[in-house]
């Protein structure tokens, strides 16, 4: 028997964390009974439905790296009809979703999968997977922003701290994050009245963006997956 949220993750419904939200929203049933609490376990042969649609563990798992161009949204849909990063992926029968996000104006490396357990592991802060960015600001970057981001800066009650930060030029920096809070780099820059002109993610863990062209994808190799799954 496995926990219901793990079953949903293996079925490609969503990451384990998002599956927990779906359960708590009362959208999941097991053998016809709504399971609106965490801790429910399912066994082989149980009928699990999400929004009245039966789901099963995925037979084929996909792990895809995308070089997301700017002005593409990391979302399943958009009411403003903006381009979606998922539209750049190869067509497969299974539903793929992004692991983490890159905001609308940012570009670079992002992973897509239908393996919810894999997505949960990579997304959780305890995994401490590094994410490296190249940033070019609209104006000269003062030394103060490097010191503040390195030592930790609190903005509206939230602490932002990078693992590494290095000056590459008057306007350009290399930044390594671990947790990767929502719009973290842009928030820190804004506190210094700076704005990134270019914000590109070039590495996740041991996986480099390399020469993958904007808008193009490639599958992650077994060796890369092994490294990402390692403690």
Confirm whether 115 is a catalytic residue: no
Beta bridge partners of 50: 28, 53
Q: Which of 3, 125, 15 is nearest to 76 (CA)?
A: 15
Cite the DSSP H helix spans in the chain: 4-10, 16-24, 116-123, 143-151, 184-191, 222-229
What is the phi/psi pair of residue 24, to 5°? -65, -25
Three-state SS at 117: helix
Cβ neighbour number for residue 20 with a 10 Å cutoff = 18
CB–CB of 15/9 below 8 Å? yes
Spatial distance between the Cα atoms of 178 and 173, rounded to a whole number of angstroms: 16
Three-state SS at 143: helix
CB–CB of 185/107 below 8 Å? no
Spatial distance between the Cα atoms of 35 and 40, rounded to a whole number of angstroms: 7
Roughly how many angstroms between the first and final C-alpha of the chain, as a whole number? 25
Q: Catalytic: which of 52, 78, 103, 143? A: 103
What residues are annotated to the active site?
103
């Amino acid at each position: 028997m496995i926990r219901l949220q793990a079953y949903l993750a293996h079925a490609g419904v969503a990451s384990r964390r998002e599956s927990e939200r779906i359960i708590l929203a009362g959208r999941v049933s097991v053998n016809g009974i709504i399971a609106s609490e965490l801790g429910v376990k399912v066994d082989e042969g149980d009928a699990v439905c999400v929004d009245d649609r039966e789901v099963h563990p995925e037979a084929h798992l996909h792990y895809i790296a995308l070089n997301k161009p700017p002005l593409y949204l990391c979302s399943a849909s958009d009411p403003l009809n903006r381009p979606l990063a998922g539209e750049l992926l190869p067509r497969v029968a299974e539903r793929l979703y992004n692991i983490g996000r890159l905001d609308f104006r940012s570009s670079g490396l992002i992973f897509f999968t239908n393996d919810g357990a894999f997505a949960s592991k990579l997304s959780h802060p305890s995994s401490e997977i590094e994410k490296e960015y190249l940033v070019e600001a609209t104006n000269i970057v003062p030394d103060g922003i490097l010191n503040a981001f390195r030592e930790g800066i609190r903005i509206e009650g939230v602490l932002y701290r990078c693992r590494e930060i290095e000056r590459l030029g008057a306007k350009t920096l290399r930044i390594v994050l671990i947790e990767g809070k929502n719009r973290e780099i842009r928030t820190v820059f804004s506190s210094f009245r700076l704005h990134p002109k270019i914000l590109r993610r070039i590495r996740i863990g041991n996986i480099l963006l390399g020469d993958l062209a904007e808008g193009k994808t490639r599958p992650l190799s077994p060796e890369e997956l092994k490294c990402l799954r390692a403690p």
